[in-house]
Amino acid sequence: MTTTYDKTDERLLESESPRAALSGFGRRIRSGDLGMAPVVIGLVLIWVIFFLQNDRFLSSRNLVNLSLDSATIGMISLGIVLVLLLGEIDLSVGSVSGVGGSIMAVLLVYQGWPLLSAILLALAVGVAIGTFYGLLFTQFGVPSFVITLAGLLAFLGVQLWVLGSRGTVNLPVDSWIIEFANFKFLSDPVSYALAVVIGLAYLGTRLRTIQRRRAANLSAPSFRGAVIKAVLMVAALLFGAWYLNQDRGVGYMPLFWVAMIVAVDLVLRRTRFGRSVYAVGGNEEAARRAGVPVNRVYITVFAAASTFAVLGGILAAGRLQSVAQSSGGTDTNLMAIAAAVIGGTSLFGGRGSAYAALFGMLVLQSITSGLNLIGVEAEVRYIVTGAVLLLAVTIDSLSRRARRSSGTA
């Protein structure tokens, strides 16, 4: 039986109404496909609550600081998202980030290396660490929990060894990495132009997708809907840029973080490797029988996660203008993992998005910033963060149960 496509179908697609869109969204919710809805709603509620407690929370200065503070651990969380998509875990990202920052700082300050060379070597170490994890996992069957727990302890020792008796390494005040992480912002015209370019790029991508689907006689959204979404996106981005420009503006480091998230999202959604990641996380045996190079996927993802951890450690060094024995410690691991889970990445593998690192980190950093503004003690922040994490995992479990009952899991 063949599927036909005619002008009637086109008119039906073009007349897609907001009511139909809401109806489709409701069906997805009932089937357990929550997407990013819970974390976006949660973020809005958090912002409203803290704004009512202290109107400085949504000031342009605080939002600029929030974006800068989110980028460092948020970059680490991006790697955690990839590992969780496979249904695995990496508990060592904090220690690995500390090692990466320490290598970069020691080479730059004490060995006289150019900054770019020091960064590249640190990133190469991250690739090597993740590759080693992947080989242990695929060749010897050691659980990722055990591998990375051992890595957490081992690389903490490596960090102490790299720093030596110095303990703390202060980066040169004129270093480019410090400028990038703290003082580099887009000019007002550039930020506005970027908002328009992003909207046009989104519109072009959507129109191309619609055209391809229609050429293949598949259902597709309407052109009008794509244009409306693009216009709303540009309006939101222009307003956001204008509001941040009331203070220092859009920082280079947060913009770099978001660009990396978009790049990873495109890889996951538009490439064979990305589809393989979801396939392995959803059902490893089925993916293997379908010809997916399972071992290669595991090794690549672990290598990417450690590389993102090192990159986050380098950005954190620039943000703090130094590296110390405590770098990558405290709650770096917990925050990175919690951000990925709160952002909507399933602990069971196969479901999630690169944007989980963005929204999840914004939730956690918003909680930290808001509680600091209203003068709440640190212990309360940990309690609230733990409660939010538990809520996110509960929602994930319930949605997974709903998908099973509806036959979509």
Tell whether the model's pLDDT for residue 75 goes beyond 70.
Answer: yes
Q: 385: pLDDT confidence band, cut at 50, 70 and 90?
A: confident
**pLDDT score recorded for residue 20:** 52
Helix (H) or strand (E) holding 322: strand 322-324
Q: 2: pLDDT confidence band, cut at 50, 70 and 90?
A: very low
Tell whether the model's pLDDT for residue 146 goes beyond 50.
Answer: yes
**pLDDT score recorded for residue 320:** 93
The answer to whether residues 159 and 95 touch, using CB atoms and an 8 Å cutoff, is yes
Helix (H) or strand (E) holding 108: helix 93-109
Q: Give CA–CA dist 153/132, Å, rounded.
A: 16
**pLDDT score recorded for residue 14:** 39
Please tell me the CATH code under which domain 35-184+251-406 is placed. 1.10.3470
What are the boundaries of each domain within the chain? 35-184+251-406
Residue with tokens 């009331």, as numbered in its chain:
246
Lowest average pLDDT, out of 19-23, 192-196, 291-295, goes to 19-23
Q: What are the Cα distances from residue 78, in Å, to 29, 129, 303, 336?
A: 25, 17, 13, 8
Task: Provide mean pLDDT across the span 360-371.
Answer: 91
* pTM for this model (two decimals): 0.89
Angle between helices 332-342 and 93-109 (to 10 degrees): 130
Residue type, 403: R
Token code pair at residue 105 = 């700082």
DSSP 164: G
The answer to whether residues 62 and 123 touch, using CB atoms and an 8 Å cutoff, is no
Token code pair at residue 400 = 């997974």
HSE on the CB side for 105, CA within 13 Å? 34
DSSP 275-316: HHHHHHHH-HHHHHHTT--HHHHHHHHHHHHHHHHHHHHHHH
**pLDDT score recorded for residue 8:** 38
Tell whether the model's pLDDT for residue 408 goes beyond 70.
Answer: no
Tell whether the model's pLDDT for residue 263 goes beyond 60.
Answer: yes
Task: Provide mean pLDDT across the span 165-185.
Answer: 92
Q: 16: pLDDT confidence band, cut at 50, 70 and 90?
A: very low
Tell whether the model's pLDDT for residue 178 goes beyond 90.
Answer: yes
Tell whether the model's pLDDT for residue 401 goes beyond 90.
Answer: no
Q: How many residues does the chain have?
A: 409
196 forms bridges with which residues in the sheet?
none
Render the burial of 358-389: b for 16+ CB within 10 Å, e for the rest.
bbbbbbbbbbbbbbebeeeeeeebeebbeebb
Residue type, 394: T
**pLDDT score recorded for residue 4:** 38
Helix and strand element counts for the chain (H, E): 17, 2
DSSP 170: E
The answer to whether residues 327 and 345 touch, using CB atoms and an 8 Å cutoff, is no
Q: 9: pLDDT confidence band, cut at 50, 70 and 90?
A: very low
**pLDDT score recorded for residue 23:** 56
Contacts of residue 142, Cβ cutoff 8 Å, sequence gap at least 6 = 136
Render the burial of 316-330: b for 16+ CB within 10 Å, e for the rest.
bbbbbebbbeebbbe
Task: Tell me the range of 80-89, 164-173, 209-218 where mean pLDDT is highest.
Answer: 80-89
**pLDDT score recorded for residue 220:** 79
Q: Give CA–CA dist 361/67, Å, rounded.
A: 10
Task: Tell me the range of 31-35, 284-288, 328-332 where mean pLDDT is highest.
Answer: 284-288
Cβ burial, residue 272 (10 Å; 0-12/13-18/19+): exposed
Dihedral (CA of 44, 49, 52, 57) sign: negative
What radius of gyration, in Å, describes the C-alpha atoms of the chain? 22
Task: Provide mean pLDDT across the span 218-226.
Answer: 84
The answer to whether residues 270 and 278 touch, using CB atoms and an 8 Å cutoff, is no
Q: Give CA–CA dist 166/158, Å, rounded.
A: 14
Q: 19: pLDDT confidence band, cut at 50, 70 and 90?
A: low
Q: Give CA–CA dist 121/77, Å, rounded.
A: 21
Contacts of residue 49, Cβ cutoff 8 Å, sequence gap at least 6 = 370
More confident residue, 87 or 35: 87
Distance linking the first and last C-alpha atoms of the chain: 28
Q: 286: pLDDT confidence band, cut at 50, 70 and 90?
A: very high
